[in-house]
Amino acid sequence: MLLRVQYPDSRYDYVDAAALDKFIVSKGIKKFLRPHENVWVNVDQGPIRGKETIYKGTIYVGPERRRFSTTNQQA
């Protein structure tokens, strides 16, 4: 699944979930669209992604919000 992102220079693009994680950690994006909620998420205002994604020196331990299609699910 591709996710819509906005870069710090205000350009828009689509990236896959793995790239999104890298962009969040490296501060390579300004915000991303959470498609199932139709909400833009500003990465500076977390909490963001995954159960153990390190971001801003903390570990996010909130609920998993990502939804995967049956072709992307891991066994």
pTM of the full structure: 0.62
For the chain, the C-alpha Rg in angstroms (whole number) is 12
pLDDT at 69 (0 to 100): 58
Q: Domain ranges for the chain, please list them.
A: 2-59
Which phi and psi angles does 19 have, rounded to 5°?
-65, -35
Verify cis geometry, omega within 30 degrees of 0, for the bond prior to 35.
no
pLDDT for res 15: 95
Among 51, 44, 55, which residue's Cα sits nearest to residue 22? 55
Q: In the prediction, which pLDDT does 18 show?
A: 85
Question: Which ranges in the chain belong to alpha helices (H)?
Answer: 17-26
Please report, to the nearest 10 degrees, the dihedral formed by the alpha carbons of residues 26, 64, 33, 53 taken in order. Answer: 0
Average pLDDT score over residue span 59-75: 60
Which tens digits make up the pLDDT trace of 3-58? 999 999 999 999 998 898 888 888 899 999 988 889 899 988 866 655 344 445 55
